[in-house]
Structure 1
Amino acid sequence: MQILVLLSLGLQVVLFVFAGIRRREAFPVRRLLLWLAYLMADSTAVYAVGHLSFSSTVREHQLVAFWAPFLLLHLGGPDNITAYALQDNQLWLRHLQILVVQVLGAAYVIHKNIDGGSSGRLLRLASGLMFAVGFVKYGERTWALKCGTLESIGASVKTQPPAIHKHSHRQDEASDEEFLVRRAHSLFHVCKRAIVDSSVIEKDSVEGQEEYTTKMMRKVELWALMEIELSLMYDVLYTKAAVVHTTAGYLVRVVSPLTIAASLVLFQLTPKDGHIGADVAITYVLLGGALFMETTSLVNALGSSWTFAFLSTTRWRWLRYVALCNGRWDSLRRRVVSLHHLVKGGFPGGSSTSRYKSRRWSYIIGQYNMLHLCTRPADTLLTSPLLGRLARTLGPNGWWDRKHYSGTVKISVSVKKHISLHMGRLYKHGTLNSLGMLRKKWGEEPLDRRGLYEGILKDSLGVEFQEGIIIWHIATDIFLAKSERAKAEDAAPRVEAIVMLSDYMMFLMVDRPYMLPGQPQNRLYQRTCENLVSMPLTDDPRYPDRRHKGMIKNLFRVRDGPASGTSRASERRDLANRLYDEYASRRFSHDAPRLTYVARLAKRLLQKERADGTADSLDLVLEVWTDILVYAGNKCSRESHAKKLNSGGELTTILWLMAEHLYQVSLEEASHAQRDDDVSNATKS
């Protein structure tokens, strides 16, 4: 029993320290370890309570019964993790049922095994205090799971006002991270509306809120604002933020450490005669661990940016004046942030800006290239990685191909700027319907703007969204391989951006199809890969001469992404040229119809380049991929965006939220114009 209780405490510490890595990172190994800790924490505590309820050894070790309330406290979990996946929130009723059973079990253990006489009176009182704390904390976790459902978030949109602080504040004109965090809280109502498909401004919105939203979005870096808002949504979905930062939540945070401290004093005064020394030591460890974690939770809660949102909307004006207008909360916030920086700085990878960086996106996106995959060495004893052989033995080949031949890259500032300009142009030209969704087909807007949305270019977009990704992905590689303009030095930034977006969309299609709209095209993808691999080449790129070089390194290679040192650029160019030569002149191929579209598209782009003699073809390809990217974010299901927040987030999610904000601004501008027209008409009449 001693081992189970200490293991339960240890798992709580692991969750308390490492739960936040999901906000920025998607590394599978760390996520696997965190997942195991999450599952084991609940299982260990539940099993331990059951063991205490039926074990006969508790009578011999009476002090062990005092541990039951601590197990309830452990089931409540730390504040920074409630749900591991979005589906956990939907199971809040199951957690409520488990809560009832475990609370009754713990109460039974205390009542049955702790003597109520003079010798055990203090211990029984300490047990009662800890039982109350454990019961409240466990109930708080269950309620947080309910508040994390999309249905509850949708209900809160109408009941909770935006965190608008109308008092004068010195940081309103600042441009630092703290200002961005507070601005994100002020605009968080837009994010909540968007996540529950309720973006249209309600008629009963807060007075002046329309003008306020537009004002809040001025003079801020939209990318940073979106990242922070999504981190706030992560807090609501996967932590206790929605419950902690309420009047009841703060009251629990204040009372909990005081109650545990009182239990510690009562236990200290309890006679230890007849108790085993190891049991006494473990009890002190449990009390000390609980007191430390609850005190830390109190400090974190009071110094959290969520407290700013609470104070901005509280009905207690005197509290808002004392905390915000007098700057007392600002002082507390700075101390907590400094302490957090100091603690994080002592860990590997810690930095002086860790508190704010935890709310920012990593700007790392996945990369996957079909030609890179199809020019891989043949699976022989000399070229096939050992881990790949094991993966194929245990599971399907597709999983290994998706993981092994994918890579990552960091988005450049120029790509971010280009995406922002493209989105601004879309929303300025009124390409949205009344629900904030794009009216035109993916890729249609840049083609139509140039008068090219006819013939092969229209057909190249495909009937299904993912079909269009496959066609444009391969055609882009062919175009870049044969384009003279793409080889110019000044074209390098655009070529890099094109390859980055093309490989990213293919990565989403292959590895994360749930982040894309439309029907998955797995069979089409597999057939296209088979056609590419079977291309008759003079020098088969699947068996390059260099397969004998670095043979040991290849055997132990874990990743072979398109941007890695083994990118096989020359083999990919050879395959691209062969594809063009094979299909560009054909009328139509029933065996490989998509490759016919691919070659025709590449041919049309090359003809346009030669006719114009400018870089307009490169700009066109880049804008098409940008439009496809924005379309994917706009049309992806809100639930998929919410699910991805627990594993580092996705570029398409940031663009989806940015689009929602721009749409709100467009609605407000239209509302202003309508009011001006009404006033003008009334004046004339």
Structure 2
Amino acid sequence: MLGGGGYRQKLIQVWNDWQVSVLVLLSLTLQLLFLSTAGARRRAQPSWGKKTYFWALYIGSRFITTYSLGILSRASTGDANADIQAFWASLLLFHLGGPDDFTALSLEDNKLWDRRCLELFIQVSTTLYVFSRYVLDPGFRRFIVPFALIFSAGVVKYVEQVVALHHATMEALIKSVLGKPDAGPDYADTINRLDGIMRSGALPSLDIKNERVDRPNSDPEANVQVKDYSEDEQQVAIKTIRSAHSLFSRFSVLFADGIFSFEDRQESQAMFLRKDARWAFKIVEIELGFAYDRLYTKASVSRGARLAVRVCSLSLTLAAGLWAALAILRASQYRQRHRCVTYALLAGAALNDAAILAAHAFSVWSLVHGDWLSWCSVMLVKRRRWSASMAQSNLVTFCLRKLPSNNDSDPAPLSSSFLLRRLLLGGGRGGVQQQDASPAPALSTTLASMDEFQKLFERRSLLDQVRSGSFWSKYKHTKYVPVSEKLKDFIYAQLEEKVRRLSEYDKRMERERERERKRVRAPSPSPSPSPSASATTPTQTGTSTTTTTSSMYSILTDCRGDQVMKDEEISNLSWSLEKKEFDESLLIWHIATDLRFREEAQAAGAAASAASAATVDQRETRKHMEIARELSNYLYYIMVVVHPLMLSSSTTMAIKRCRDTCAEARRLFLKDHVMAAAGKGKGDRRRAVGEDNAHRVLLDVDTPLHAAVVKGDKCKSVLWDGCFLARELRQSMADPGRRWRVVCKVWVEMLGYAAVHCGGYQHAERLKDGGELITFVCLLMTHLGMGKHYRTEVGDAYAHLSPYSAAA
């Protein structure tokens, strides 16, 4: 019998014999998994499992392939199967080229293109070293040609990956759209000519014409093309794809915080005005699909080069596979295992290239410049390119987590909550012993000294942080809701309404300017200018007057709910929006919206159970309630889970404000829960705080003054400001329909403000996690002419000088 050492030696021997075969098959398996699932990354909701899966594939495939090449470089040349194993080195290099649909885990990986270039040199050198060791082996000569073919295909794919990473960097993105430097019209030359005319004794006439053509010729609504219903569905689908690509080509620099001109605004407005929300969201979805391809796949390489690489790689792989298969069939010295592994690797390489070529041919990129794929254009448009969902996080729900339940009979699991109960009841070490005594004296004594209570709560909070590792890690239970059509319709209707109002305002201003120009052109009895004045002062007969629309767009872009209050003539709620940081206003409105929703949803549920059917107004109010709640929870999720910098200029302050608010709310809930659990009757026990009555606990606290007046400004909690606003909403607007319509509009404005003020890098980074609604809103606002990126409003100005005599 073999001892422990014998089994160990046997196991080592088996592993040494099988390790190369296992590793290359594992590398092939990872490549096939990449090939079949990489495209789903853009459509999947962000989760721990998804992140781990793609991280393991991305890191594991490169590690295993590199490790296998290292083993082959040290393998013995005396084995009869050594030459066929050396042929595997070219196939491993082919694997390192990676799939077309996955080049980077994040945008940070694109910056490492130079490091990947160094890796290319090392891996190619290692493969050539393996080749040099076996090239003189007579048994390896049959594999020289297929080795060279697969090696060439692998190098081409690897180079393509490096180029794609380089083109996907923000620097390359900016460079691709900036073009050549523009010095503009020659200012010095114009001034010199002006001085020359004035020195000659003539009065110069300076007529300045802007590049921009003002209304009515630049009216975006005048250029809106009404849909031609004679077109079939395929033609409409092709136009949609090409329109999305045109927008992507023009506005892709948004992800690098680029700038746009009035021409971009006019053309995009002409495309989007008078269109429905379904069309607008779909064209932005396709546009973001192009952006994802540019940043996270090999699509950044030119289409012609990609097609050439695909055809060349597939041809080389098929030729090498056929040559190697015939060579193996003629040789008899190879083990059956090595034959099967080689066949699997060759078949996997051919399948990989064929699938990539088919995916490239049947993609929206093929419809950008050609019509041969028109028969499946409708299917390509309908294909989903993002998760179509938005995350939901709620402050009250988070603060209620891990509170002891009403059915807890064992006090031990309550940890510090059980200690609080003992503290409030004065039970001492023996716990609660005097069941027949009234707890009121003990309660009043304990509540009079809140220092000990606060210390115990802080101790519990610190313990939770140590257990979880991070205060915000508990948000891993974030739930997701679909982005409904009613939400899209409401958001787009509000954005389009802003543009329509601006258009009407601009038309009125244009009519006033036209009347002013006519008044100026009318003859007047004013005397001619004196010769002395003519020699020193030029007459400006034309000026570059920009419309006030530009400033109005900027004003509406900076609105975050305060414009809704002005439109609705509600002044007593402006304190929650004006002169406050955005994350502070968002948190206050999140609390108020949640409390109002909880209270009114309970009342509406009780009324619905008594009534037979809801009226139209009630259904509309319910729709607005759901929209407001979803947007409130979504923006709260963005602020505390995804990236506080997306919504706040100060990440530290935003996080501190959320933490302090959560700490104050949880302290209140713990205190109320313990006091309810201390009651003797069952009726008192049902008062324990939970999801169904948390709003009552908060709203029962009277808030006659703002919290900062009472507590100072060290604690940044806005809990009581949110409760105060919840009461003000009910008192200011007694009609629930109007109240929730206003709240919805406020949240849409906040969403728009957050979308256009969020950095383009953050928008691009979220594409890999299924996309975000806030990115859709950012692009919609940009295409409708709003946003902070429009910096060119009049274009170049051209000065025309015409001298004339002073005597004239």
Q: Normalized against structure 2, the TM-score is what?
A: 0.67
Superposed displacement of residue 272, structure 1:
1.8
- RMSD between aligned alpha carbons? 4.0
Residue in structure 2 matching 1:467, options 576, 584, 587 = 584
CA contact (8 A) 2:83 2:140 kept: no
- Checking the alignment, whether the CA contact within 8 Å between 1:192 and 1:233 is kept in structure 2 is yes
Larger Rg: 2
**1:506 matched residue in structure 2:** 636
Counterpart position of 1:278: 337
Name the CA distance, whole Å, in 2 between partners of 1:108 and 1:397: 48
The answer to which of 630-639 and 599-608 deviates more is: 599-608
- Find the partner of 2:568 among 450, 454, 467: 450
Question: Given the alignment of the two structures, is residue 605 of structure 1 paired with residue 723 of structure 2, yes or no?
Answer: no
Deviation at 1:456, TM superposition (A): 5.4
Partner of 1:105: 126
Matched, 1:21 2:40: yes
Give the C-alpha shift of residue 674 in structure 1.
Answer: 12
- 1:424 aligned to 2:496? yes
The alpha carbon displacement at 1:601 in A equals 2.3
Alpha-carbon displacement from aligned partner over 1:292-332 (angstroms, at most 9, x marks no partner) = 111121122122211222xx2xxxxxxxxxx53xxx4435x
Q: 1:230 aligns with which of 279, 282, 288?
A: 288
- The CA distance in 2 between the partners of 1:251 and 1:95, in whole Å, is 22
Inter-partner Cα distance in structure 1 for 2:603 and 2:240: 39
Matches within 5 A, 1:284-323: 284-309=343-368, 312=369
Task: Give the aligned partner of residue 372 of structure 1.
Answer: 397
Cross-structure match for 2:767: 645
Post-superposition offset of 1:614: 6.5
Residues 281, 776 of structure 2: 8 Å contact kept: yes
- Alignment match, 2:711: 590
Find out whether 1:540 has 2:662 as its counterpart: no
The CA deviation at 1:281 is 1.8
- Residues 377, 542 of structure 1: 8 Å contact kept: no
How far residue 586 of structure 1 moved from its aligned partner, in angstroms, is 7.8
> Contact conserved, 2:257 with 2:759, CA < 8 A, in 1?
no
Alpha-carbon offset, residue 543 of structure 1: 7.2
Query: Deviation of residue 537 (structure 1)?
Result: 8.6
SS in 1 for 2:401: coil
Q: Deviation string for 1:474-518 (max 9, x for gaps)?
A: 122344456699848512111111211111111212211243232
Change (3 A) 1:410 1:99: same
C-alpha distance in 1, partners of 2:85/2:464?
46
- What is the rounded CA distance, in whole Å, between the counterparts of 2:98 and 2:554 in structure 1? 39
Alignment correspondent of 2:646 = 515
Which residue number in structure 1 is paired with residue 482 of structure 2? Answer: 410
Q: 5 Å matches for 1:552-567?
A: none
Whole-Å separation in 2 of the counterparts to 1:389 and 1:530: 11
In 2: Cα distance, 1:65 partner to 1:460 partner: 69
| Matched-pair contact (CA < 8 Å) for 1:146–1:152 | yes
Shift of the 362–248 alpha-carbon distance from structure 1 to 2, 3 Å rule, reads closer
Deviation at 1:50, TM superposition (A): 2.1
Alignment identity in percent? Answer: 28
CA shift in 2, pair 1:132/1:485, >3 Å:
closer
Q: Residues 94 and 435 (structure 1 numbering): CA distance in 2 closer, same or farther, change over 3 Å?
A: farther
1:366 match: secondary structure: strand
**CA distance, structure 1, for counterparts of residue 63 and residue 150 of structure 2:** 21
Give TM-score scaled by structure 1 length: 0.78
The CA deviation string for residues 417-449 of structure 1, in whole angstroms up to 9 with x for no partner, is: 111122123344558659978553422221232
2:515 aligns with none
| Counterpart selection for 1:240 from 298, 305, 316 | 298
Aligned to 2:374: 330
Matching residue of 2:145: 125
Could you list the per-position Cα deviations for residues 99-155 of structure 1 after superposition, in whole angstroms to 9, with x for gaps in the alignment? 0111111111112213375x5433111111111111111111111111111221222
Q: 1:500 to 1:543 in 2, by over 3 A?
A: farther
Distance 2:706 2:174 in 1: 55
Q: Counterpart of 2:743?
A: 621
Q: Tell me the SS of whatever aligns to 1:361.
A: coil
- Out of 752, 760, 783, which is 1:661 matched to? 783
Note if 1:496 corresponds to 2:614. no
Alpha-carbon shift at residue 228 of structure 1 (Å):
1.4
Distance of 2:166 and 2:563 partners within structure 1: 41
* Residues 367, 507 of structure 1: 8 Å contact kept: yes
1:23 and 1:647 in contact (8 A); partners too:
yes
Contact 2:321 2:346 in 1 (8 A): yes
Pick from 241, 255, 259 the counterpart of residue 316 of structure 2. 259
- Residue 62 of structure 1 is matched in structure 2 by 83
2:361 is aligned with what amino acid? L
Preserved contact between residue 41 and residue 769 of structure 2 (Cα < 8 Å): yes
Aligned to 1:147: 167
The equivalent of 1:94 in structure 2 is 115
Cα 1:272/1:587, change in 2 over 3 Å: closer
- The 8 Å contact of residues 177 and 356 in structure 1, kept in 2 or not, is answered as yes
Instruction: Indicate conservation of the 8 Å contact 1:584/1:603, yes or no.
Output: no
Match in the other structure for 2:754: 632
What is the CA–CA distance in structure 1 between the aligned matches of 2:230 and 2:321, rounded to whole Å?
43
1:604 to 1:468, Cα distance in 2 relative to 1, 3 A: same
| 1:10 Cα deviation from its structure 2 partner | 0.6
The 3 A distance-change label for structure 1 pair 526 and 258 is: same
Amino acid at match of 1:602: A
Give 1:175 deviation, angstroms: 7.6
Q: Please give the secondary structure, in 2, of the residue aligned with 1:535.
A: helix
Which consecutive unaligned segments of at least 5 residues does structure 2 have?
1-19, 181-227, 405-410, 416-460, 503-548, 608-613, 679-687, 801-808
Q: Is residue 561–residue 577 contact of structure 2 (8 Å, CA) maintained in 1?
A: no
Q: 1:78 is matched with which residue?
A: 99
SS at match of 1:408: strand
Closer/same/farther in 2, CA of residues 640 and 586 from structure 1, 3 Å limit = closer
Kindly provide the amino acid, as one letter, of the partner of residue 265 in structure 1: L
1-structure distance, mates of 2:500, 2:674: 47
Give structure 1 stretches of 5+ with no counterpart. Answer: 161-167, 313-322, 338-352, 546-565, 679-685
Contact 2:238 2:367 in 1 (8 A): no
Q: Tell me what 2:386 maps to.
A: 361
